[in-house]
Structures are given as C-alpha cells and as structure tokens.
C-alpha cells in the first residue's frame, strides 16, 4: 500500500484531541489505512494504531468523561449501538492488526484489510478546521476540511501546524487536563511496612498488581525494557540484605506505591536517604533526596559515592563504571 502524503498532517490532527481530551501524547503511531468513503451520511476515516504514549490518561470532564481501557470486543458488545460510527468501524482494524502482529506478518502492504481512498476527507462539521474558520470569519459552506485548512492558511498566513500549536496553547481544557495528567504524586502514597515481612525475600506481588492496575501496559513495557538493559550489568553488582539496609538506614520506614517506571521506595520522614527497589529487575539503590545530579546516589552504608579518599586521605573522583557498580545492589535472598 502506498503511504499517503497526508500522513504527517493526520498524525498532527491526532495529537491535539489526544492531549486536550485525554491528557496523553501518542508516541508510536502506526498507520493502518483508511476506511469508508465520504458521502452524504458517511465519512472516510484514517486509522492509526497507538502502541505507546506519554502522560496519564484522564478524561477532560467536559467533552470526554470516564476514560477507561476496554478491549475492542468489550466496546463492541457493551457500547456498540452508541459508538461514533467511524470509530466503531475503526475497531475492526486494530483487531486485524493484532492478529497479524501475532503472526509477525508485514502489514505495510495492507493485506487486504482496507482500501486506500484517494479522495478521502475527514472531520465532521464540528471539528477543528471548521471552528477555526468560524472564528476567522470564513464561510465554510460547501468547503471540505482540507479546503478549510487551505482557507485558514491563506487568511492567517500561518501553516496548519502553527494553527494547531496556537489552538493548543489557547485551549484551557488542554492546559488543565495536562496538568491533571502530570500529577504522578496523585498516584503515589505511603503506607506502613508489612508486619513480619522480610523484604530481601519478598516477592512484591501486591505491589506488582498495583503497578499493573495503575499504569498502562505501554508504559510498563517501556520501563521493563529499560530495566532489562540495566540488568545486563547485574552480575557485577554486590548483593546485600535489603531488609537490613532499609532498617539500618531509615527510621520508621514506610513503603511508597510503585512509580511509572516500576520503582518502589522505602522512605522515612526522619532521614534524607531512601531505598529504591526496581520491580522489573530486582535490584535496589540508596538515594539522598536533597542532593543534585549523580551525587544523590549513595552506597549501601549511606556513604556518598561521587568521590573517595585513599589511605593517604587524598580525594579521588569515582570512575563512572565503579560508581555505577557501587550504586546498584542485588538482593541477598
């Protein structure tokens, strides 16, 4: 299937509503093709598969409400009659794509799932270009969306991407939504350590369940990939009793719920150090919360690692590889 020239513009058109209405920014967008044709009662729809995004999905509470992750099947079964028709049609495409990815098939040739509609147009009468035209006093009667964009570009002297960027800045719902989505602190909370649990042998099953329930799969997979890369060096790291380290360095420690990257922290209000455990790769670090840069990473006894003194009390810088090795610890089980 030939890649259409409008693909980047379409991607751009996806970004604004994703950010404004759900507070997320799609990262990986795979073009799947188009469905349908424009007619009196129908629209041609460009379909993309998004496998990765940044931000935490949250409906803006104005245009969108109650955002949930649902499988295409569930959507179809429970909400089939009330879905926006082009969206309902698009659900057929990801299902096919998932099956093809399972079999590692190349979907770039379309595999006959859909037809490329050369004369495609998109967007309904309430979509962005029409709204902008109205604001600029352009008569939209009889204009297609792309003609609207052309009229806008001609009138304002700005490109489509510039108009998008301006609209994004002016949109209060976009701003409030992105602020709401960028509050990882909302997802984190402290709770007491479990009684009788030895954390050097603990399987963190409850925390893993919480992690899976809190963060989207794409973000968890990305964090897992990074952790897997980091753990290539695990063999060279020292093993320590994490439970003993926690209780030795921290007074009245509490455990914090998992972060987006799959880290669980043991924190004390009374000490500036905290112990951070990686759920993906089973290692821990000791961090000083008030220090900047790499100097925040401390040794297993709470000692700074940026430099060291030799037997003659002369100070030396810690080489990168050595500092990395001394800042990461395997759990001794």
Q: At closest approach, how far in Å is the CB of 308 from another protein?
A: 9
- Least distance between another protein and beta carbon 124 (Å): 29
Exactly one of 71, 252, 295, 301 binds another protein (CB under 8 A); which one?
A: 295
User: Nearest-5° angle of CA 182, CA 286, CA 242?
Assistant: 115
Angle CA 176–181–185, to nearest 5: 115
Between 217 and 289, name the residue whose CB sits nearer to another protein. 289
Q: Does 261 bind another protein (CB under 8 A)?
A: yes
> Does residue 42 touch another protein according to CB under 8 A?
no
Q: 29, 152, 163, 223: which one contacts another protein (CB under 8 A)?
A: 223
DSSP 304: B
Q: Please tell me the total number of residues recorded for the chain in this structure.
A: 333
Nearest partner of 6 among 115, 84, 125, 117, judged by Cα:
117
Q: Give the binding range for another protein (CB under 8 A) out of 31-39, 192-200, 208-216, 313-321.
A: 313-321
**Angle at the Cα of 106 from the Cα atoms of 101 and 112, rounded to 5 degrees:** 95
Token digits of residue 242: 């994490």
Size of the site for another protein (CB under 8 A): 47
- If one asks whether residue 263 binds another protein (CB under 8 A), the answer comes out as yes
User: What is the C-alpha R_g of the chain?
Assistant: 26
Which residues pair with residue 54 across a beta bridge?
25
265 binds another protein (CB under 8 A): yes
Residue 250, phi-psi category: left (phi > 0), alpha (psi -120 to 50), beta (remainder):
beta
Whole-angstrom distance, CA of residue 41 vs CA of residue 36: 11
Q: Does 58 bind another protein (CB under 8 A)?
A: no
Q: Does 37 bind another protein (CB under 8 A)?
A: no
Stretch that binds another protein, among 33-41, 49-57, 116-124, 132-140 (CB under 8 A): 49-57
Residues with Cβ < 8 Å from 324, sequence gap 6 or more? Answer: 233
Q: Does 319 bind another protein (CB under 8 A)?
A: yes
Helices (H) and strands (E) in the chain, counts: 13, 12
Helix (H) or strand (E) holding 239: strand 238-240
* Stretch of 40-48, 99-107, 130-138, 323-331 lying at the interface with another protein (CB under 8 A): 323-331
Judged by CB under 8 A, which of 59, 64, 193, 222 binds another protein? 222
Of 116, 289, 301, 303, the residue at the interface with another protein (CB under 8 A) is 289
Name the segment binding another protein (CB under 8 A); options: 89-97, 121-129, 138-146, 252-260. 252-260
- Alpha-carbon distance of 227 to 98, in angstroms, equals 26
Convert residues 175-204 into a mask of x (bound to another protein by CB under 8 A) and - (unbound): ---x---x-----x----------------
Using a 10 angstrom Cβ sphere, with 0-12 exposed, 13-18 middle and 19 or more buried, the burial of residue 156 is: middle
CA distance 82 to 130: 24
Residue 255 Cβ vs another protein, minimum distance, rounded to whole Å? 13
Question: Which positions lie near another protein, rule CB under 8 A?
Answer: 25, 27, 52-55, 178, 182, 188, 222-223, 225-227, 229-230, 256, 259-261, 263, 265, 267, 274, 276, 278, 285, 287, 289, 291-297, 306-307, 315-320, 323-324, 327
């Amino acid at each position: 299937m030939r890649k259409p020239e409008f693909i980047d513009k379409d991607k751009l058109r996806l970004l604004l509503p994703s950010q404004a209405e759900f507070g997320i920014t799609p990262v990986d967008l795979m073009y799947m093709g188009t469905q349908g044709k424009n007619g009196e009662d129908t629209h041609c729809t460009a379909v993309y598969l998004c496998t990765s995004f940044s931000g935490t999905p949250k409906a803006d509470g104005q245009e969108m409400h109650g955002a949930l992750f649902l499988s295409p099947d569930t959507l179809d079964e429970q909400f089939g009659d009330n879905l926006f028709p082009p969206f309902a049609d698009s659900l057929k495409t990801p299902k096919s794509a998932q099956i093809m990815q399972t079999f590692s098939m190349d979907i770039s040739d379309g595999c006959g799932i859909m037809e490329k509609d050369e004369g495609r147009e998109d967007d309904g009468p309430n979509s962005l270009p029409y709204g902008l035209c109205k604001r600029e006093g352009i008569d939209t009667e009889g204009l297609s969306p792309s003609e609207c964009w052309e009229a806008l570009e001609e009138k304002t002297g700005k490109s489509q991407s510039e108009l998008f960027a301006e609209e994004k800045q002016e949109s209060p719902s976009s701003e409030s939504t992105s602020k709401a989505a960028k509050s990882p602190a909302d997802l984190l909370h402290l709770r007491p350590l479990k009684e009788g649990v030895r954390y050097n042998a603990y399987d963190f099953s409850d925390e893993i369940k919480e992690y899976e329930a809190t963060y989207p799969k794409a973000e968890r997979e990305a964090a897992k990939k990074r952790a897997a890369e980091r753990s290539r060096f695990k063999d060279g790291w020292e093993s320590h009793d994490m439970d003993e380290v926690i209780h030795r360095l921290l007074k009245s420690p509490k455990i914090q719920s998992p972060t987006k990257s799959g880290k669980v922290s043991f924190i004390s209000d009374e000490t500036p150090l905290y112990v951070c455990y990686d759920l993906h790769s089973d290692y821990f670090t000791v961090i000083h919360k008030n220090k900047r840069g790499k100097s925040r990473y401390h040794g297993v006894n709470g000692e700074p690692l940026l430099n060291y003194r030799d037997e003659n009390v002369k100070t030396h810088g810690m080489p990168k590889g050595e500092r990395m090795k001394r800042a990461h610890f395997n759990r001794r089980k």
